Structure 1
Amino acid sequence: MRSMGGEQVAEAVAGAVALLRTATDRDWESARAGRLEWSCRSTAEHVAGDLITYAGQLAGRATEGYVPFEITFDEGTGNEDVLQVVETTGALLAATLRSTPREVRAYHPYPFRSANREGFAAMGIAEVFLHTHDIAEGLGLAYEPPAEPCADLLARLFPHVRPDTDPWRTLLWATGRGDLPGREPVTEWRWRNNLVIPAERLTLQGVTPAAATDLAAGGDGGFEWAGGGPFQGTRDAAGMLLKAYEAGAHRPEWGVFALVRREDGRAVGGMGFHGAPDEDGRVEIGYDLTEAARGNGYATEALRALSAWALAREEVTSVCATTDPENTASQAVIVRAGFTRVAAESSEGGEGGQSAVQFAYELRG
């Protein structure tokens, strides 16, 4: 999986500044930046402000709100000087990303009140790409960043958006800056960093489509795994998530979560929903653990946490799970998590095409 960190931020800033530097002799104060209400100059200042803000959030480990500081420019600051500030703040964010451990999360409001270093890198790059587009449009310049990082941004920050053959045009459409054939115009949008649900010894970290792509292809999804890597069930779940994303049907909060140990930041398994709640408010959970992590109560702990999160949602009335009759270990996990066995269900696809029996369990709020 392509990383998204300091190197990518530096590349994005360098490309933007190189283009805008060709037009520093123009009037940035009077020129409106694309569809924005801001001038080209104030938009460039905004980019610098976002880059330093993201660096400050991570460096200060802010968890409850934004660190209360901002950039101010000296009197007489010209266009070239503004670009120098953009370069400097980009370098500060890049350096912060390189020195921040993977498990660190800091405050960001949308939509789950936190982001990790990958999320802040993605948001920083998106700010650079999108606002350079705005400024370039206002100054009559042509700008288009490379397709690959645009696709990465969509797969990390816009998991609810169905991808298209042109990632840059899709990113512009998703942020209200353009049109796509067959899709309604976007008038409101927000970043969507991954959901993280805390448990006692674990954190359940939402798997993005970017991570799911890597997991389904046999990679690590950007996680450090205990016991040599994820179990096959996690890879299969990642593949289903990826299909839903490609179809535009993925709802991130009802997707897949990596179970990450707090003590060492290693993933020990995967757990997730088989889809969004149905019309009766029923949602089903599946899970697995790496072999090296079994027998420690991790699955029970994670199942309790994810079930409690689901049942706290208004649209959920019950959480369900099924298991094979011979899988007594999984049955013990489900029962310890508070589920009650409700039925034995038959499903197609057993050996020789025969129906297979599974035990069904349910937990209600």
Structure 2
Amino acid sequence: MRPLGGDQVQEAVGHALEALRTAVDRDWTGTKAGGLEWNCRETAEHLASCLLSYAGQLAGRPTEAYVPFSLTVDDDADEAGLLDVVETAGALLTAAVRTTPAGVRAFHPFPFRSADREGFAAMGVAEVLLHTYDIATGLGLPYEAPTELCVSVLARIFPHVRPDEEPWPTLLWATGRGDLPGRAPVTEWRWYNPLVIPAERLALHAVTPAAAAELAAGGTGGLTWIEGGPAEGTRIGAGLVFTAYQAGALRPEWGTFALVRTEDGRALGALGYHSAPDENGRVEIGYDLVEAARGQGYATEAVRALVDWAAERARTHGDVRRLWAVVDKSNTPSQAVVGRAGFRQVSDDGEQFAYELRLPGA
């Protein structure tokens, strides 16, 4: 899986224009775009507007709403001119993604009210692939999106969707545009930007399936690590995330989070859930730090942030009621971490202590 950046936005737009420019002499206004309510011209205008909006979010970096502007295409612009607008908007998003620092986030509503440069790139690529398909279907044009782009989009903003051997039909199915054998039709959908939980000196960044695959294979997961990182426990946790993704069992907010130091953007370790909460609302957590980051309170800070998020989740969704941690009896530093975060010891099997934290209302 390739990371999604400006090159991928440029590739998607170029591939789309190559297909659509063969049909600029057709009636776009009188032709519906595939299964959409819009006609082909309206869909192309919407596509350009999305690309420009995403570029504006990265440039302006608002945190509470979209930048309040819109794109207007001249009424007398023909279809060739309209595609020039799409190309221009795509170039603006490409430039914005390339020039935005890695740690920057801006407002996007789904589902956690922010996205980073890779998220906006992924959404831009998805808009291009899907709406080109809609327009091409309406106009009777052959169109198939590039496979590698589909794989990357699915792994970045559709982590809850089980991947398939055919990524393009999977993306169409996941967005209600097609059927897949053995899977129920999709009637409602949204893509999924990863959760980021702020702490005092850290931010907890949910590890996407693409990043998890790279970490499990010995890479960095797209992160800049302090010396000695990532630790083996992080790679094991990332492997579990990717395995769950491949099985279609990943609930991304219940996965692994990279611990990223705010002051310099360097990753120090990982923390996360072993799975989604069970039928009793119980979920186990685990964590590790690169050796050079230990003894400085980072683990306690991270666990407390995760506890606070789980408590809010318990209040708003009710799907989690108890957090669980298992610590080796010889690991006194980790025992201190869970104790400071509010966990209490509930069992001792001779080799390990088990700790539990009951969330408010449990």
Scaled to the shorter chain, the TM-score interval is over 0.9
Aligned to 2:113: 113
Residue deviations 1:295-328, cap 9 Å, x none? 1111000000101211222122211111100011
Aligned to 2:319: 315
Structure 1 residue 21: Cα displacement: 0.6
Structure 1 residue 116: Cα displacement: 0.5
Structure 1 residue 279: Cα displacement: 1.5
Structure 1 counterpart of 2:261, one-letter code: R
Aligned to 1:363: 357
Aligned to 2:334: 330
Residue correspondences, number: 355
Aligned with 1:101: secondary structure?
coil
* Larger CA deviation: 61-70 vs 315-324: 315-324
* Larger CA deviation: 65-74 vs 222-231: 222-231
- Paired with 1:251 and 1:3, the residues of 2 have a C-alpha distance of 21
- Paired with 1:228 and 1:94, the residues of 2 have a C-alpha distance of 34
Aligned to 1:302: 302
- Paired with 1:82 and 1:240, the residues of 2 have a C-alpha distance of 45
- Paired with 1:295 and 1:311, the residues of 2 have a C-alpha distance of 26
Residue deviations 1:116-164, cap 9 Å, x none? 0000000000000000000000111000111111011111111011111
Aligned with 1:283: secondary structure?
strand
Structure 1 residue 88: Cα displacement: 0.4
Residue deviations 1:3-41, cap 9 Å, x none? 211111011101101111110011100011000010000
Residue deviations 1:79-105, cap 9 Å, x none? 011000001010000001111011101
Structure 2 gaps of 5+ residues are: none
- Paired with 1:34 and 1:264, the residues of 2 have a C-alpha distance of 47
Residue deviations 1:197-255, cap 9 Å, x none? 11111110001111101010001111111124210001001111111111111110100
Residue deviations 1:178-212, cap 9 Å, x none? 00000000000001000111111111000111110
Q: Does 1:238 align with 2:238?
A: yes
Aligned to 1:21: 21
- The answer on whether the counterparts of 2:2 and 2:148 sit within 8 Å (CA) in structure 1 is no
Aligned to 1:191: 191
Structure 2 counterpart of 1:4, one-letter code: L
* Larger CA deviation: 335-344 vs 151-160: 335-344
Residues 84 and 228 of structure 1: CA distance in aligned 2, closer, same or farther (over 3 Å)? farther
Aligned to 2:85: 85
Structure 1 counterpart of 2:126, one-letter code: A
- The answer on whether the counterparts of 1:163 and 1:170 sit within 8 Å (CA) in structure 2 is yes
- Paired with 1:345 and 1:255, the residues of 2 have a C-alpha distance of 27
TM-score by length of 1: 0.96
Identity %: 66
- The answer on whether the counterparts of 1:63 and 1:114 sit within 8 Å (CA) in structure 2 is yes
Moved over 4 A (4+): none
Structure 2 counterpart of 1:317, one-letter code: R
- The answer on whether the counterparts of 1:311 and 1:319 sit within 8 Å (CA) in structure 2 is no
Structure 2 counterpart of 1:343, one-letter code: S
Aligned to 2:98: 98
- Paired with 1:241 and 1:345, the residues of 2 have a C-alpha distance of 28
Aligned with 1:194: secondary structure?
coil
Structure 1 residue 293: Cα displacement: 1.0
Aligned to 1:354: none
Residue deviations 1:38-97, cap 9 Å, x none? 000000000100000000011001100011100011230110110000010100000011
Task: Provide the alpha-carbon RMSD of the alignment.
Answer: 0.9
- The answer on whether the counterparts of 1:311 and 1:364 sit within 8 Å (CA) in structure 2 is no
- Paired with 1:333 and 1:75, the residues of 2 have a C-alpha distance of 63
- The answer on whether the counterparts of 2:228 and 2:291 sit within 8 Å (CA) in structure 1 is no
Structure 1 residue 110: Cα displacement: 0.6
- The answer on whether the counterparts of 1:21 and 1:80 sit within 8 Å (CA) in structure 2 is yes
- For residues 192-211 of structure 1, the aligned pairs below 5 Å read 192-211=192-211
- The answer on whether the counterparts of 1:283 and 1:318 sit within 8 Å (CA) in structure 2 is yes
- The answer on whether the counterparts of 2:157 and 2:193 sit within 8 Å (CA) in structure 1 is yes
Q: Does 1:160 align with 2:160?
A: yes
Aligned with 1:63: secondary structure?
coil
Structure 2 counterpart of 1:151, one-letter code: V
- For residues 270-281 of structure 1, the aligned pairs below 5 Å read 270-281=270-281
- The answer on whether the counterparts of 1:150 and 1:171 sit within 8 Å (CA) in structure 2 is yes
Aligned with 2:227: secondary structure?
helix
